[in-house]
Amino acid sequence: MLCLFAVLLSPAMVYAHGAEIEYTVASSIEIVAKYDSGEPMAEAQVTVYAPDDPSTPWLTGECDDDGRFAFTPDMSKPGTWDIQVRQAGHGDMIHIEIEKGSVIGGSSSGYSTGQIVLMTVCVIWGIIGTALYFRRGKA
């Protein structure tokens, strides 16, 4: 069983002699992996797959002693990110949807853009034609 928390890294400035370090705020994802018994999957193997290449690991690592693992996904790769956790013959996978901004790609109706445009034109043409028919009748 895997639990998910989204964590924003807190901003920080660090100054040292002769150096300047800047920071950026990024959205990271933290998972918590536990066995069914509630025991954390300490040092479990983690493999992260990005949506543009589901066959090739994008990132690998290990959970800490509390079964936690955090990473920052590439926000330029929207879609489903898959995170696999394995240890001692047990494993599971969770799936996290990442959206690019607020835009959701694709058509929910299942029609292509061309088909939608044509249907719209046909409806408009039908309305105009019907209006002209009744207008001609009155004249």
**What is the contact surface with another protein in residues (CB under 8 A)?**
1, 35-37, 49, 54-55, 84, 86, 89-93, 95, 107, 110-112, 114-115, 118, 121-122, 125
Instruction: Report the alpha-carbon distance of residue 67 to residue 126 in Å, rounded.
Output: 63
Comparing CB distances to another protein, the nearer of 75 and 132 is: 132
Tell me how far, at minimum, the Cβ of 29 lies from another protein, in Å: 17
Tell me how far, at minimum, the Cβ of 86 lies from another protein, in Å: 6
Instruction: Report the alpha-carbon distance of residue 92 to residue 22 in Å, rounded.
Output: 37
Tell me how far, at minimum, the Cβ of 118 lies from another protein, in Å: 5
Comparing CB distances to another protein, the nearer of 37 and 102 is: 37
Among 84, 80, 83, CA closest to 97: 80
Q: Is 25 left (phi over 0), alpha (psi -120 to 50) or beta?
A: beta
